[in-house]
Structure 1
Amino acid sequence: MDDLEFTGERLTTSLEVAHGVIEHLHRYALAQKITIDKIVLDIASGEGYGSFLLSKTANKVYGVDIDENSINYAKAKYGKSENINFLVGSTDAIPLDDNSVDIVVSFETLEHHDKHDLMMQEIVRVLKKDGVLLLSSPEKSIYNERDPNNKFHVKELSIGDFEILLKKYFKEVTLFSQRFVIGSLIHLVDKKNMSKFNLFDGNYSQIKNELVEDSFYNKPYFNLAICTNSNRNDFSEIGFSFFNGVNVIKKEMNEYKFKCEKKYNEIVDSESFKIGNNIVKKINYCIKFWKK
């Protein structure tokens, strides 16, 4: 089937921008850790790939999006999965019953509207009493550096505003930052003993126990939070983590190389290039002749 049209904002599986792909997949990788055998709502599900990934571990997944075209596409592409149900709906009018889901996942949604309180009220309504919300949103103070004048963003939040909003509706709020990094990861073979995760940066003259921010890389462009109204505050499934983006980057590089080679061959095979090449050869011949 044809790919869902890329509007310039919503991630689709045809997108070739490495950092966006890796960041989104990493978030869904975390979501998979807490949605095993759960009833899940993926609000603003878009193309549906995230709901599909969650359905591999969850008991039931509802993918809800305001865009009917996206929902129809998701049904056609992922509808064979018996435990997914795609529905048209908005963040301030979720088409699910009260206390009906265990986990709500919402990635890159808040910034697309200004009805933040209504969205939180709806999420609390559909969540069970011990339910959990996992969501992300770009960091207002720096995201403009990465994506200036984004016409799709209505109201971005700083980490402080993000925390204030969530604590109005949830007793327990644990905050995270997400950074797109390129580097090396060393960890214990025995994952049960992986209690601390160190970040290092530097060069031959100095090593720092932190990440040094580049003009693009290593900045905390996204805020994440896991929230609940239960007494649980230990989310050991979500701590320090790393998503391997090597295959995504290699795929992007290979596709770029293919496009360059294709363009080069088109130029070489063009009639104008052949005419120009013949003219250059004749000029070079004349130059050699006159030099004699």
Structure 2
Amino acid sequence: MPDQTSEPTTPQLYLQRDQPDGVPPLALTGERTLPDVPEENYWYQRHLIVYEWIRERVGGLKVIDMACGEGYGSSVLAGQAAEVVGVDANPAAHEHARLRYSSPTVRFARDLVETFAEPADAVVFLQTIEHVQNPDEILERFKALTADSGAPAVYVSTPNVLTLAPEGAEKSGNPWHVKEYRPEEFHALCAAHFSSVEVYGLFHARKLAVHEFAIKKLRWDDVHKGLRLTKPFYNWFTPAISVADFTLTADRPLERALDFVAVCRP
């Protein structure tokens, strides 16, 4: 996606700020989003709203947060879920999550998405299916993990290649992504494994919607560069973004969505 919220940066220069005592900060590499990095706040809030939306749908359930990364999402889900297990194979991310977020209802397992075997009522797999070589195998595994639940659900999100990549390109420049999906491709992938698939789109709202309009219609990028305001503007604007600046809905064209969120049931 063209950078709409900050100047281009080199992610590895940034470390999480203000971590609790004894919790090692993680470095921003572009592989996963992180809280507590002001320059990353747009992407963090863009992911956080989806975790919060799912949280309201998993009350009283056991949830597996696959590829949980830093762990913040597992902690969010635990606000309503009976039990959350955050699964990630990266040793640094696992150790950080274990130290920062473990609680009576949250624990973390260092394991691969392909091999973690605990059954659950719901599986959450956000912004990761575009990273994998074997999406069909993984979705079948998630279906099997939730097979014994009375109300199984698998939540999967991914960016929209139509708004992430340059126009006409098959993929963005993100080196961690294997395959980026169009709306019909993503729906077909999920529908090949689940009989019920609802796909929602994530869009800009409030000040991000105004900012998007200014870029597209008023050439704001050229204006702030010409006035030499780019750095001061984004130093203020990016940290000020919140979940309220996004909306998740099924009532707008998916071709224009930033991300897709699928709710999959057998």
Specify if TM > 0.5. yes
Q: Secondary structure at the match of 1:92?
A: coil
Q: Are the aligned partners of 2:65 and 2:125 in contact in 1 as well (CA < 8 Å)?
A: yes
Q: Which runs of 5+ in 1 are unaligned?
A: 185-199, 202-210, 230-292
Counterpart in the other structure of 2:30: 8
State TM-score, norm by structure 1. Answer: 0.63
Counterpart in the other structure of 1:125: 144
Q: Residue 22 of structure 1: CA displacement?
A: 1.9
Q: Are the aligned partners of 1:44 and 1:91 in contact in 2 as well (CA < 8 Å)?
A: yes
Moved more, 126-135 or 166-175: 126-135
State TM-score, norm by structure 2. Answer: 0.69
> CA 1:142–1:213 in 2, change beyond 3 Å: closer, same or farther?
farther
Identity among equivalent positions (%) equals 23
Q: Secondary structure at the match of 1:4?
A: coil
> CA 1:213–1:133 in 2, change beyond 3 Å: closer, same or farther?
farther
Q: Are the aligned partners of 2:35 and 2:41 in contact in 1 as well (CA < 8 Å)?
A: no
Q: Residue 183 of structure 1: CA displacement?
A: 4.7
Counterpart in the other structure of 1:207: none
Counterpart in the other structure of 1:26: 49
Deviant stretches of 4+, over 6 Å = none
Please tell me the residue identity of whatever aligns with 2:261.
Answer: L
- Report the Cα distance in structure 2 between the residues aligned to 1:61 and 1:72, rounded to whole angstroms: 16
Given candidates 174, 179, 184, the residue that maps to 1:150 is 174
Q: Are the aligned partners of 1:92 and 1:115 in contact in 2 as well (CA < 8 Å)?
A: no
Given candidates 106, 129, 136, the residue that maps to 1:84 is 106
Q: Residue 106 of structure 1: CA displacement?
A: 1.1
Given candidates 213, 226, 229, the residue that maps to 2:263 is 226
Counterpart in the other structure of 1:190: none
Matched, 1:101 2:155: no
Counterpart in the other structure of 2:157: 136
- Report the Cα distance in structure 2 between the residues aligned to 1:27 and 1:60, rounded to whole angstroms: 18
Given candidates 50, 71, 74, the residue that maps to 2:73 is 50
- Report the Cα distance in structure 1 between the residues aligned to 2:58 and 2:34, rounded to whole angstroms: 22
- Report the Cα distance in structure 1 between the residues aligned to 2:120 and 2:31, rounded to whole angstroms: 28
Q: Secondary structure at the match of 1:136?
A: strand
Q: Residue 8 of structure 1: CA displacement?
A: 2.1
- Report the Cα distance in structure 1 between the residues aligned to 2:58 and 2:265, rounded to whole angstroms: 14
Q: Are the aligned partners of 2:161 and 2:172 in contact in 1 as well (CA < 8 Å)?
A: no
Higher radius of gyration, 1 or 2: 1
Q: Are the aligned partners of 1:46 and 1:65 in contact in 2 as well (CA < 8 Å)?
A: yes
Please tell me the residue identity of whatever aligns with 2:32.
Answer: R
Counterpart in the other structure of 1:64: 87
Q: Residue 26 of structure 1: CA displacement?
A: 0.6
Counterpart in the other structure of 2:185: 161
Q: Deviations over 1:170-192 (max 9, x none)?
A: 111111111123359xxxxxxxx
Count of residue correspondences: 201
Counterpart in the other structure of 1:171: 195
